[in-house]
Amino acid sequence: MKAAVFRGVGKPLSIETIPTPKAGPGELVLRVHHCGICGSDLHATQEGTFLVPDGTVLGHEFAGEIVETGAPGWKVGEMVTAVPVYSCVDCAALGECKDGLGILCPRVRIVGLHVDVPGAYAEYVKVSAREAMRLPAQVKTREGATTEPLAVGLHAVRSGKVGIGDRVLVLGAGPIGLAVAIFARICGARNVVVSEYAPARREAAGRLGATAVIDPAREDVGAAFRQHAGAPPDVIFESVGIPGMIQKCVEMAGVHTRVVVVGVCMHEDRFAPMIANFKEISIQFVMGYGRPDWRVVLDLLDSGRVDPRALITDEVSLAQLPAAFEGLRKPSTQIKILVRPGLDSAAG
């Protein structure tokens, strides 16, 4: 099969022919219909903590059709997505971690981010049936491939305990910030104010449920928020992930504001804790999601209460993927780009 393979820092992904995966016991092989490009994939191909080895096939936000099954209860032709997270099956027995940690398990392997579990920047991907989830009737693979980033947003909103009437500020309108805005509204937030530099992303925020948008290049974010909502935020979501953002959150917070840090900052950062003391701010760092988050996202997609179409700005073939991927290293106005390996064969 054709796959996009990582061949070292500074090189574009390489389209190569590699062996098509085979389903062992408890496994499923999917024909990849759609796979999202994620900021984590960019991190994974740069020098730093998350750099993956030569030979890795990325792609952890996917949906597709079962073409081979090694697990009872699953049928060829069913449309599925899968939680790309393999934690230990029985952590407690190993004595080093606790059961149910999921993505937080110290032994976790993530499909498409570890070299031994190839991802879905490929025509086919193999998944553990234990982590697979059927797409509900109304969810096509195009929307199904957004389940992963949506689940990150839902998990952050749950961690921030957003409730009815809350005033919420979201910093950054990439896929995760936008997912946070969607679920903050669903949880009953009265004000969901999204701050973002890129006009196209601000526009998407408006379509996805933000009650106001702020251009931080032109307005003081804290002042603009108070003007819109009448008070400081109850919850601030940091979904930018660059140094200095936590300090900004602390400054804009009111008394007892909850700050949820969902952006992943790769650098050292500093903030003034005393300001946080004087307002009794809570700062919660979050990572990923759990399986229950995925179930809720799929239910909401099925019922139409979450419509992720404004998140998807582009679709590319596998052959177009390397160029699209490199393009995302510079600031872009795109939100979610989906890879469609099927487009290549359609073109001959």
Instruction: Name the residues that contact Zn ion, by CB under 5 A.
Output: 38, 61, 87-88, 91, 97, 105, 107
Q: Comparing C-alpha atoms, which of 187, 176, 193, 158 is closest to residue 290?
A: 158
Following DSSP, what letter does each residue of 7-22 receive, concatenated?
-STTS--EEEE-PPP-
Q: Nearest approach, Cβ of 190 to Zn ion (angstroms)?
A: 29
Nearer to Zn ion, 107 or 207 (CB): 107
CA dist., res. 272 & res. 251, Å (int)? 9
Nearer to Zn ion, 7 or 109 (CB): 109
Q: Nearest approach, Cβ of 96 to Zn ion (angstroms)?
A: 7
Are residues 37 and 80 in contact, defined by beta-carbon separation less than 8 angstroms?
no
* DSSP conformation class of 135: P
Following DSSP, what letter does each residue of 16-75 receive, concatenated?
EE-PPP---TTEEEEEEEEEE--HHHHHTTSSSTTPPPTT-----EEEEEEEEE-STT--
Helix (H/G/I), strand (E/B), else coil: 316: strand
Nearer to Zn ion, 93 or 347 (CB): 93
Q: Nearest approach, Cβ of 175 to Zn ion (angstroms)?
A: 8
Nearer to Zn ion, 41 or 344 (CB): 41
Q: Nearest approach, Cβ of 161 to Zn ion (angstroms)?
A: 24
Q: Nearest approach, Cβ of 58 to Zn ion (angstroms)?
A: 10
Token duo for residue 115: 């070299």
Nearer to Zn ion, 83 or 181 (CB): 83
